Amino acid sequence: MGRPPCCDKVGVKKGPWTPEEDIVLVTYIQNHGPGNWRGVPSNTGLLRCSKSCRLRWTNYLRPGIKRGDFSDHEEKMIVHLQALLGNRWAAIASYLPERTDNDIKNYWNTHLKKKLRKLHGQDGHFPEGLSPSQSTSKGQWERRLQTDIHTAKQALCDALSLNKSTNNLPDLKPSNVNYPVCPSTDPAQSSTTYASSTDNIARLLQSWMKSSPKSSQTSSEITTQNSFNNPMGNLSSPSEGTTATAEGFDSINFCFSSSNCEEARKFTPENTLFQHERKPNLDNQVPLTFLENWLFDDGAAQEEGDDHLMMDLSLGEDDHGLF
DNA sequence: AACTCCATCAACCGCGCTGTT
DNA sequence: AAACAGCGCGGTTGATGGAGT
């Protein structure tokens, strides 16, 4: 007696999302907030299962997501955190502002794994302290424990810094990856919410139009006077002169027009309702050592009780040539 | 130019956890 | 306490585009 499927397979659409679907989803979340995914397909008419909707939102449409090239800094962080936490991508993602766990996971599998393998031998063996060998010396429960400590630490930091929310210190804690966004009843908030999401939609529209001009004409009529030559991941606001005239695009058409795009730009994620969802932007400002110290702090605390537990958390000498 | 191989990444699948009834 | 529903996570797959032959 197996678990019933999360959604009946009949009539459920699979495969890549179209801009129309994205817009429907974003519009819905704008009005109702993320959550209650079960009800999203029925309430929006999307022929997608709830999981697909959630995934699409969290990995792609959610405001504040950075896509594209990973910086050296981010690479180091990933390698480091992977060694520390193992393949707990969600936990790793909580330390990397604006990156999704899926993105990090993909990047690890396609780039970093190879890079490390190259450095540490063709057999794919990693040195002590670097994953995947870490799993042999450090159990899953131990890594979980570490993350729990992080969480506790975060809670403590939160509690202690409630009155210092405006300070300039980097937020050296795992960002909250939950999306405690309440349904907005404030029209002003709604508009800002929307604007923050349209950056993502604009980006995907660009890549979509580049990659599949045929489908863009069959399902909708999208015109643009701009050259959409931005590579995916190169964040840009909706381009001037861009219009989306498909049914369903109408509701957000204002945001793709030139005048409103300026407005949209004002709605930085920090100003939006979705700011809760946005990971703190610390990748640019926070020196790695700062964060490392914080990480090691945890490690050191645990090491007191277990010497081999936190064996080699710093990047090995070999890794210095990695980046 | 045509074909094959490979790399990348968005999306899917299945399982486990947690909250609710 | 048990059953159920919903969500989150990690592993895997498949479509796509680019590089190589």
Distance A17 CA to C11 C1' (A): 22
**Does at least one atom of strand C sit less than 7 Å from the CB of A6?**
yes
Closest CA to A200 of A59, A14, A9: A59
- DSSP H or E run through A207: helix A187-211
Among A15-29, A113-127, A277-291, name the most confident range.
A15-29
Number of other CB atoms surrounding residue A265 within 10 Å: 12
Distance A27 CA to C15 C1' (A): 27
Distance A165 CA to B21 C1' (A): 38
In tens, the pLDDT along A96-117 reads: 868 888 888 888 888 888 777 7
Mean pLDDT of A268-278: 41
Tell me the two tokens of residue A32. 């109702």
Distance A58 CA to C8 C1' (A): 11
Give Cα A121 distance to the centre of its chain.
31
Closest CA to A138 of A93, A86, A91, A88: A86
**Does at least one atom of strand C sit less than 7 Å from the CB of A32?**
no
Report protein residues in contact with nucleic acid strand B, where contact means CB under 7 Å. A 2-3, 5-6, 13-17, 48-49, 51-52, 55-56, 59-60, 67, 102-103, 105-107, 109-111, 114, 232
CA A215 – CA A140 distance, rounded (Å): 45
In tens, the pLDDT along A235-252 reads: 333 333 333 333 334 444
Q: How many CA atoms lie within 13 A of A154 on its CB side?
A: 17
* Cα–Cα separations (whole angstroms), residue A66 to A14, A104, A239: 25, 11, 18
Tell me the two tokens of residue A132. 């995947």
- Mapped onto helix, strand or coil, the DSSP state of residue A222 is strand
CA A200 – CA A178 distance, rounded (Å): 19
Beta bridge partners of A222: A244
Is A64 a residue whose pLDDT tops 70? yes
CA A139 – CA A143 distance, rounded (Å): 7
CA A264 – CA A273 distance, rounded (Å): 13
Kindly give, in sequence order, each residue whose CB lies less than 8 Å from that of residue A39, ignoring residues fewer than 6 positions away: A50
Which percentage of chain A shows pLDDT scores above 70?
33
Tell me what pLDDT residue A141 has: 46
CA A181 – CA A197 distance, rounded (Å): 14
On average, the pLDDT of chain A sits at 57
CA A200 – CA A64 distance, rounded (Å): 8
Distance A138 CA to B17 C1' (A): 22
Strand B: list positions under 7 Å from protein Cβ.
7-15
| Contact by Cβ (8 Å): A267, A195 | yes
CA A42 – CA A48 distance, rounded (Å): 9
**Does at least one atom of strand C sit less than 7 Å from the CB of A36?**
yes
In tens, the pLDDT along A165-219 reads: 444 433 444 444 333 333 333 333 333 334 345 566 666 566 555 544 444 343 3
In tens, the pLDDT along A3-31 reads: 444 555 567 888 888 888 888 888 888 88
CA A49 – CA A41 distance, rounded (Å): 6
Strand C: list positions under 7 Å from protein Cβ.
5-12, 15-17
Kindly give, in sequence order, each residue whose CB lies less than 8 Å from that of residue A261, ignoring residues fewer than 6 positions away: A237, A238, A239, A240, A255
Distance A218 CA to B3 C1' (A): 30
Tell me the two tokens of residue A287. 């020196």
Tell me the two tokens of residue A273. 């309702």
